């Protein structure tokens, strides 16, 4: 990226932030007005208000369940043919790492297995200036095609800030991002290139994320079910519809021209991946999906899981608030699709994380009160059917997902997914608090502590033998 391009990118991001600030007062005012009206309604007509809200949410759950059923019955996408590749543009792999010196040798060995012409590949290991241990570990193992980029001290100290700093130091026409614990399929770069060649209107694409430590404990199994449902069923369905969806924090591949046109990543957003996908779609750009996975390390203890989830929930709030300022961009039919997808992905996720646990507790209390006191609310069989349908389809999504991910043995744990969803309540409460007090604070997820028993690195089908 030239100096002129850097300047234009910074101007674009600055203009976006100024526009966001100018409209944020109106959005916040409307949100507060809605909350005041809801509180007033609850105070004056508590039972009727609760019943109406419950009915609206039940109807929303049914609509989402129907969409998920369509996703379940969608045929799994096939990989593009790599034999047709004749030209290979420069590819830049960006890998931000912080306080992960223990991961460096394993990380470099894994990324070295990427099957792409050596003279067209560069891998930038991005370290923070304050992280002397990781910088030292990278320098000890440094070799082509790896390069070390040191991000100077500054705020906010976030992953997207490091990516923005490294972008001008890269030369690739296509940019991808990996995390320190990632084990991408060796053919992922070529598969992404073939998909871009077949779909010239795609600005970016997402590869599925799996977990290589899913058997550690109950939490990692549930995490694997959740990711399998997302990346092997839901995301491919949205991509096939041509609708935008939140990119993953890793293994997303972006055309450099599209990335520069929207000003790079938002350094202040703690889920820069989700934000980037909706900023690309605001410019009319589409994102796709390839079935060529990356394996990651699932968090295996509740403390780190809560921190990670609270960051994700906070980032979803940030992204939803920012893009609700101009929800119908690019002001055409695709803008309408973008608006509904924003609500369907980020908005619905936040709503479910907030209400599911409360609904289960309220339901148990209601059943107890009805049994002991005869207290009754005007619920009907339809409400029960709507709630049951929503749960059943969500569980089916997890089952189909792990089957497609090649881990069908995890399907027996799918009925326990509702317990896992109840755990989301505390992270979303924490996110609501932090969005006001520490909106840009980044909860770093530790890696290298939940590894499976030692075995050969590759578990990919059709991967080259080691």
pLDDT confidence bin for 16, thresholds 50/70/90: very low
pLDDT confidence bin for 185, thresholds 50/70/90: very high
Tokens of 366: 């209601």
CA torsion 171-174-180-183 (nearest 10°) is -130
- Would you state the pLDDT for residue 9? 43
pLDDT confidence bin for 456, thresholds 50/70/90: low
Region at 360 (left for phi over 0; alpha for psi -120 to 50; beta for the rest): alpha
Is residue 392 pLDDT above 90, yes or no? yes
pLDDT confidence bin for 12, thresholds 50/70/90: very low
Give the burial string for 37-65 (b: 16+ CB within 10 Å, else e): eeeeeeeeeeeebeeeebbebbebbbebb
Rounded CA separation 336/396 (Å): 29
Which segment of 30-39, 167-176, 217-226, 227-236 scores lowest on mean pLDDT?
Answer: 30-39
How many Cβ atoms are within 10 Å of 170's Cβ, its own excluded?
20
Rounded CA separation 87/184 (Å): 22
Is residue 4 pLDDT above 70, yes or no? no
Rounded CA separation 24/325 (Å): 7
Q: Return the H-helix or E-strand segment holding 105.
A: helix 104-111
* Preceding amide of 145 cis, omega within 30: yes
> What is the chain's mean pLDDT, rounded?
89
pLDDT confidence bin for 25, thresholds 50/70/90: low
- Would you state the pLDDT for residue 378? 75
CA torsion 184-341-317-151 (nearest 10°) is 40
- DSSP symbol at 234: I
Q: Per-residue pLDDT tens for 104-138?
A: 999 999 999 999 999 999 999 999 999 999 999 99
Per DSSP, helices labelled H in 125-234 are: 132-141, 159-166, 188-198, 218-229
- Would you state the pLDDT for residue 1? 43
Burial of 251 (C-beta count, 10 Å sphere; 0-12/13-18/19+): buried
* Fold entry, domain 1-453: Spore Coat Polysaccharide Biosynthesis Protein SpsA; Chain A (3.90.550)
Which segment of 203-207, 237-241, 314-318, 328-332 scores lowest on mean pLDDT?
Answer: 328-332
- Would you state the pLDDT for residue 453? 67
Residue 185 makes CB contacts below 8 A (sequence gap 6+) with 191, 207, 292, 293, 294, 460, 463
* Residue ranges per structural domain of the chain: 1-453
Rounded CA separation 434/432 (Å): 6
């Amino acid at each position: 990226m030239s100096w002129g391009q850097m300047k234009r990118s910074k101007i674009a991001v600055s203009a976006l932030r100024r526009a966001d600030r100018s409209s944020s007062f109106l959005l916040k005012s409307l949100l507060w007005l809605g909350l005041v009206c809801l509180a007033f309604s609850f105070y004056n007509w508590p039972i009727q208000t609760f019943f109406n809200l419950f009915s609206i949410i039940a109807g929303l759950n049914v609509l989402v369940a129907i969409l998920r059923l369509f996703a379940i019955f969608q045929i799994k996408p096939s990989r593009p043919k790599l034999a047709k590749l004749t030209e290979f543009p420069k590819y830049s792999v960006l890998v931000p790492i912080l306080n992960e010196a223990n991961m460096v040798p394993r990380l470099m060995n894994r990324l070295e297995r990427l099957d792409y012409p050596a003279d067209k590949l560069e891998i930038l290991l991005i370290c923070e200036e304050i992280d002397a241990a990781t910088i030292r570990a990278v320098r000890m193992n440094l070799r082509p095609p790896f390069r070390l980029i040191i991000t100077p001290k500054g705020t906010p100290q976030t992953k997207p800030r490091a990516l923005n700093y490294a972008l001008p130091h890269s030369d690739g026409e296509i940019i991808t991002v990996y995390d320190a614990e990632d084990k991408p399929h060796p053919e992922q770069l070529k598969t992404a290139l073939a998909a871009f060649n077949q779909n010239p209107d795609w600005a970016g694409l997402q590869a599925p994320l799996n977990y290589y430590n899913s058997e550690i404990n109950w939490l990692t199994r549930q995490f694997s079910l959740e990711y399998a449902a997302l990346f092997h069923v839901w995301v491919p369905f949205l991509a096939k519809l041509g609708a935008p969806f939140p990119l993953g924090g890793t293994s997303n591949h972006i055309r450099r021209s599209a990335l520069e046109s929207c000003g790079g990543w938002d350094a202040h957003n703690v889920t820069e991946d989700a934000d980037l996908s909706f900023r690309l779609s605001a410019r009319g750009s589409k994102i796709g999906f390839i079935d060529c996975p990356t394996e990651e390390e699932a968090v295996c203890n509740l403390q780190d899981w809560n921190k990670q989830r609270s960051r994700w929930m906070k980032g979803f709030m940030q992204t939803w608030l920012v893009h609700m300022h101009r929800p119908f961009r690019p002001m055409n039919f695709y803008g309408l699709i973008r608006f509904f997808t924003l609500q369907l992905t980020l908005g619905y996720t936040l709503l479910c994380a907030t209400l599911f646990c409360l609904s289960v507790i309220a339901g148990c209390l209601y059943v107890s009160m009805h049994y002991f006191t005869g207290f009754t609310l005007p619920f009907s069989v339809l409400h029960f059917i709507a709630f049951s349908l929503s749960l059943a389809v969500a569980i089916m999504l997890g089952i189909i997902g792990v089957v497609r991910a090649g881990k069908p043995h995890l399907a027996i744990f799918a009925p326990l997914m509702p317990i896992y969803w109840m755990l989301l309540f505390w992270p979303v409460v924490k996110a609501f608090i932090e969005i006001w007090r520490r909106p840009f604070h980044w909860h770093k997820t530790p890696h290298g502590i939940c590894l499976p028993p030692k075995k050969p690195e590759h578990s990919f089908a059709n991967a080259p033998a080691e």
